[in-house]
Structure formats: C-alpha cells, structure tokens
C-alpha cells in the first residue's frame, strides 16, 4: 500500500505539471490567434496541424502511446481552434449570418399548404399553428408542398418531421437538403388512429385496410389480430378515408383519425387502435425566406463529416465548448457516395447569440456542406 501511495503522489505531481503546461499552451494559442486576427492570416492551417501531429506521435515510445499522443494533441488543437473562433466573435470578425430576425411571421394573409386532403393530421397541425380560418390548400406529396413554397404558390408549408413511435420521417430530411426552404416553427399533435368504414360495415366484412404505411405500423397490434385483412399503403391517412367513401365498398376500411372519418362521412368501427396511446407527431412550418423569430429557441442544421476516425466526435465538441445543448441527431445516406452520411442536428439556441455564431463558425470550418435549416 505504501508503494501505491508513493506512486499516486508522483502521478499527482505529474498531473499538476500537465495542467500548468496546458494553460501555458492555451495562452500561447490565444496570442497566436490575436496575431492572426491582426495580420489577416487564416485561422486554420491543416497542413501545419498534420505536420505537428506527425512530429508529436513520432516521439512516443509504443504503438499504444502513439495513439494516445495523437488523440491528446488532436484534442488540444481542437480546443485552440475553439478559442480562436471565440476571439473572432469578440472582434466582430464572424460577420452576420444570412438570416433576418423578425418579431412575427406576418401570417395573417399568408397562404398555407399541407400534404394530404381534408381530414389529414397535417391539416390539424396547420390549424393548431395558424388558426382554423387560415387560407390553405392541400397537395398530394411532401415534394409537392416543398415545390409550392419554393415557387411562391404558398407562403408556408406544414409537414411532419418526426413521430414519437415510428421515428424520423426520412423523406422530409432529404427534401430539406434538396430545397432552399427553411424551418420557422413547429407544433406537436397527438395521433389517435381509428378503424373507419362505410356506415353499417361489420368487421367480418372487411378484406382490405388502407392507410399510410407508418399508420399501419402504429396500429399493427390491432391489425395483426385480423391477419385475414390485406394491409395496403397509400399516401396519407385522410386519402385512405376518402378512398373508402369514393369507392363505396364495405370490404374496405381505413386507418385514420376520427376527424377524417367524420369529414368523409364514415363510421368509426373501432376507436383508439394505436399500439402506443401516447403517440404524437412533430410538424415543422417551412418557408422559402431566410427568417427566424427573434424569440426562437431551437436551431436545426445539417452537415457532412470527413470519412476519418473521430471526425464526428470533434465536430460535436463545438456544442460542448459553447455550452449549447444538442437535443437530437439523425443521419441519412449521402446520395451518390456509398457508406457516407449526412448528419442532422437540433440544438437549443438563437442565431443572434455569440455562442451559436461561434459554434456554427467552427462547424462550418471543420465539416463539409454545413447548412442552417432553420431557427424556430
């Protein structure tokens, strides 16, 4: 035990020296950053960093230590960059982000588009956000909605982005990258599915059940109790209800909301057929303008990372060092590049805040294709 205590004392002494040397290194890094700002030299020199890493790694005695030294110096270099980004913010060198803060969306006379038809959950989300008397129209697909606002046929679109049981709506993430449209708001509504059919329909008469694929999955426990029913996916739960009304066939039923059933004149044959009774969907409000509400508290971004060990870890550290709370991360394949991924991140903050500007500057410098998807 005495020997262990003696070794621990030696370790403590080394650790104190490491802290002192670390602080010296960070101070020198600040001085280098100040000089770069005054002389206009670019903050990041990747080749210098690579040369420095190679030199430090070569000084380690074992393969294990070489990996440790590489990781140690990569982290210290990353911390130095973050300090220098902060210096740029303090010096006003970051410039303005290309988004305009506004007190209101001025949606009183706006035209709103949603995907589906009358009775769709998207319509309910739209009315919750914009009010029941908003000027609206519907389209068949998510792409149609995004095109409507890009072309100016609508001012805003209300679209689903995430379900509490089924997870992300992958198509929406891909469309947010494809189109130059931006998120300015969100709303969450409960999802309560029913089985609906023509008035007087009995369960034993049903042969086919129509709904959106996700809705069929969310009601799988109930539907699997009737394995003789064929399950057929359509674009939207409300479209499924409309199909039942239009075709007047008692062998068909729809999984939809009670509201959609009422709109189409259908009878609710079975209530609350969700597997999860706490099911809900988050909808985003999208526009073609680069604006954000001045009281917005959530930011969505996407970026790609170099195909290198530790690259995602280093990028996410920008949230830690700027005291920003990351609330969600998703990944989607990058089109045309097998096994490479684009990451979608939500975090708390406002685009006017220095910490947010600092984090975004670091992410932009160190990632590929950073895009701000919205502040809401």
281 is an active site residue: yes
Q: Do domains 100-191+280-293 and 195-270 have the same CATH topology?
A: yes
* Domain 100-191+280-293, CATH homologous superfamily name and number: Periplasmic binding protein-like II (3.40.190.10)
pLDDT average, residue stretch 276-295: 96
pLDDT per residue as tens digits for the range 30-87: 999 889 888 888 877 888 989 999 999 999 999 999 999 999 998 899 888 888 888 8
Distances (CA, A) of 226 to 54, 130, 203, 222, 234: 65, 39, 9, 7, 19
Q: How confident is the prediction for the chain on average, in pLDDT?
A: 93
Residues 6+ apart with CB under 8 A from 44: 81, 365, 366
What residue spans define the domains of the chain? 15-93, 100-191+280-293, 195-270, 296-376
For the chain, the maximum distance between any two Cα atoms, rounded to a whole number of angstroms, is 88
End-to-end CA distance of the chain: 58
Whether 221 shows a pLDDT value over 90: the answer reads yes
Of 169, 258, 250, 160, nearest to 209 (Cα)? 250
Lowest mean pLDDT among 159-163, 240-244, 359-363: 359-363
pLDDT per residue as tens digits for the range 103-130: 999 999 999 999 988 899 999 999 999 9
Q: Tell me if 138 sits within 8 A of 116, measured CB to CB.
A: yes
**What residue has token string 């130095």?**
80
Confidence bin at 95 (pLDDT 50/70/90): low
Q: In Å, how far from its chain's centre is CA 96?
A: 23
- Tell me the C-alpha distance between 136 and 274, whole Å: 29
Q: Tell me if 329 sits within 8 A of 312, measured CB to CB.
A: no
Identified catalytic residue from 117, 237, 281, 287: 281
- Tell me the C-alpha distance between 337 and 339, whole Å: 6
Confidence bin at 94 (pLDDT 50/70/90): low
Residue-level pLDDT at 277: 87
pLDDT average, residue stretch 162-181: 94
Of 137, 99, 133, nearest to 117 (Cα)? 137
- What dotted CATH number matches 15-93? 1.20.59.10
Which two three-digit tokens encode residue 128?
């919750």
Give the residue with greater pLDDT, 184 vs 80: 184
pLDDT per residue as tens digits for the range 7-21: 999 999 999 999 999
Torsional sign, CA 129, 133, 135, 140: positive
- Tell me the C-alpha distance between 145 and 59, whole Å: 59
Q: Which CATH number fits domain 296-376: 3.40.50.1100, 3.90.1150.10, 2.60.40.10, 3.30.70.260?
A: 3.30.70.260
Domain spanning 195-270, CATH architecture:
3-Layer(aba) Sandwich (3.40)
Q: In Å, how far from its chain's centre is CA 11?
A: 44
Global pTM reads: 0.82
pLDDT average, residue stretch 141-159: 97
319 is an active site residue: no
Residue-level pLDDT at 81: 86
- Tell me the C-alpha distance between 370 and 364, whole Å: 6
Q: Tell me if 134 sits within 8 A of 126, measured CB to CB.
A: yes
Residue-level pLDDT at 9: 94
DSSP secondary structure of 176-201: HHHS--EEEEEEEEE---EEEESTT-
Identified catalytic residue from 99, 130, 142, 283: 283
Residue-level pLDDT at 96: 63
Of 47, 102, 87, nearest to 361 (Cα)? 87
Give the residue with greater pLDDT, 358 vs 174: 174
């Amino acid at each position: 035990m005495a020997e262990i205590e003696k070794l621990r004392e030696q370790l403590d002494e080394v650790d104190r020296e490491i802290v002192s040397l670390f602080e010296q290194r960070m101070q020198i890094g600040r001085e280098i950053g100040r000089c770069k700002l005054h002389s206009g030299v670019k903050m990041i020199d990747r080749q210098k960093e690579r040369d420095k890493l190679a030199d430090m790694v070569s000084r380690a005695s074992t393969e294990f230590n070489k990996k440790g030294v590489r990781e140690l110096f990569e982290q210290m270099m990353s911390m130095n960059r973050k300090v220098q980004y902060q210096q740029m913010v303090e010096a006003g060198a970051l410039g303005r982000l290309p988004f305009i803060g506004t007190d209101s969306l001025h949606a009183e006379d706006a035209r709103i588009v949603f995907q589906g038809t009358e009775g769709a959950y998207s319509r309910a989300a739209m009315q919750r956000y914009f009010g029941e008397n908003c000027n609206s129209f519907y389209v068949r697909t998510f792409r149609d909605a995004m095109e409507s606002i890009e072309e100016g046929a609508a001012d805003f679109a209300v679209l689903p982005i995430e379900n509490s049981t089924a997870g992300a709506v992958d198509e929406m993430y891909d469309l947010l990258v494809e189109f130059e449209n931006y998120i300015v708001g969100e709303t969450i509504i409960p999802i309560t599915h029913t089985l609906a059919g023509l008035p007087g329909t009995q369960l034993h008469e049903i042969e086919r059940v129509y709904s959106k694929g996700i809705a069929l999955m969310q009601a799988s426990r109930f539907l699997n109790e009737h394995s003789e029913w064929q399950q057929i996916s359509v674009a939207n739960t409300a479209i499924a209800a409309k199909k039942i009304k239009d075709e007047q066939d008692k062998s068909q039923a729809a999984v939809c909301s009670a509201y959609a059933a009422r709109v189409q004149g259908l009878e609710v044959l079975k209530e609350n057929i969700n597997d999860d009774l706490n099911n809900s969907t988050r909808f985003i409000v999208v526009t073609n303008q680069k604006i954000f509400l001045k009281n917005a508290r959530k930011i969505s971004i996407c970026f790609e990372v170099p195909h290198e060990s530790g690259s995602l870890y280093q990028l996410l550290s920008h949230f830690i060092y700027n005291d920003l709370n990351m609330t969600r991360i998703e990944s989607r394949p990058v089109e045309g590049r097998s096994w490479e991924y684009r990451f979608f991140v939500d975090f708390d903050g406002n685009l006017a805040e220095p910490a947010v500007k600092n984090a975004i500057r670091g992410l932009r410098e160190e990632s590929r294709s950073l895009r701000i998807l919205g502040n809401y």
